[in-house]
Structure 1
């Protein structure tokens, strides 16, 4: 059993990861600014600012999963918040998984990332900040840190929750599409893939994408 700290553990991605991890017998600590409307049995909830809670919680963690979004209070500050999580994980010897965005992927091997192209104005700032967190991780993480940056597919979120199928694909930093050109996965299947990687680590210090 591992101790897994999920930052953003009451959000869509974090909640699904916490639920899957708890179902496997892991000790899960969820960190968020507010308590969930429907707590998951077995999850320990810590509420407050990430900056205040991280120094206390990360030293006892085996794995840290960061699922924050650059919205609200974190907008414009996510790189600095994640930089501190990276530092604390390296010092504690905890594995660090950071959930990013689809726009950090590439459409083809060697091609510019989606975020380097045309992004709709309403999504651009969030995409750029999300990509900046990836660049920080690649450029600044020390060799002692076992990290992984994970991108979901293009059609992913609470608005497209889907159902658990028990199936998923893992790729590198090139986006995964199905035969019809779709790029999607349910929240439950995404969490399944993340926990499989936690339980049986196969990717290290790299960027992967997950899709059905």
Structure 2
């Protein structure tokens, strides 16, 4: 059983990861700025700011993995990179893996590129996508003593397209995963399956991967 910490554990991706990890018997701590409206039974919750990691330090002790599911929205709109940088520094040289949830925008649409972000990407989502792209660049520039992985969801991913848990997904490497009809989609539950699988199996070290059906 692993000890897993999720920053942004009450958000869309974060809550699904918390739920999946608990269902597999892992020790789960969800960190968030506010109390959960719909807590997952079996998970521990801790309130605090990702910008003040010292106050959250006890949660990280003995963690096998820390997952950042922070979104650049609200008062974190321009602060996710600062929080991630501080988190990366804290975990460098430890045995704790760092997982980061990004967006689909940084995925390649074909081997070698270009990125989805460069293909008439919707203006209203560009800020969030850019934060994801910059987060990956930050990780790639870290010291080799940090064991990280970065996960891109499919193009259609969110509470507006919830879907169901099937337990299946495909890993596309750095290329956006599309089905035979060209659709790129993953349910929140199956995205969480992929993240927890990575924590358990350790298939990606200091690299990113895409997830979809």
TM-score where L is the length of structure 1: 0.95
2:200 matched residue in structure 1: 199
1:25 matched residue in structure 2: 25
Deviations 1:20-65 (A, max 9, x none): 1111111100000111112111111001211224433223311001
TM-score where L is the length of structure 2: 0.95
- Alignment RMSD (CA, Å): 1.3
Alignment of 1:80-95 (within 5 A): 80-95=82-97
Asked whether the equivalents of residues 51 and 82 of structure 2 are also in contact (C-alpha less than 8 Å), the reply is no
1:23 and 1:48 mapped to 2: Cα distance?
Answer: 25
Asked whether the equivalents of residues 59 and 89 of structure 1 are also in contact (C-alpha less than 8 Å), the reply is no
List, as ranges, runs of 4+ consecutive aligned residues in structure 1 with deviation greater than 3 Å: 53-56
User: Is 2:180 aligned against 1:179?
Assistant: yes
Alignment of 1:41-190 (within 5 A): 41-52=41-52, 53-139=55-141, 141-190=142-191
2:4 and 2:210 mapped to 1: Cα distance?
Answer: 21
Return the structure number with greater helix share: 1
Residue 2 to residue 124, structure 1, CA distance change in 2 (3 Å): same
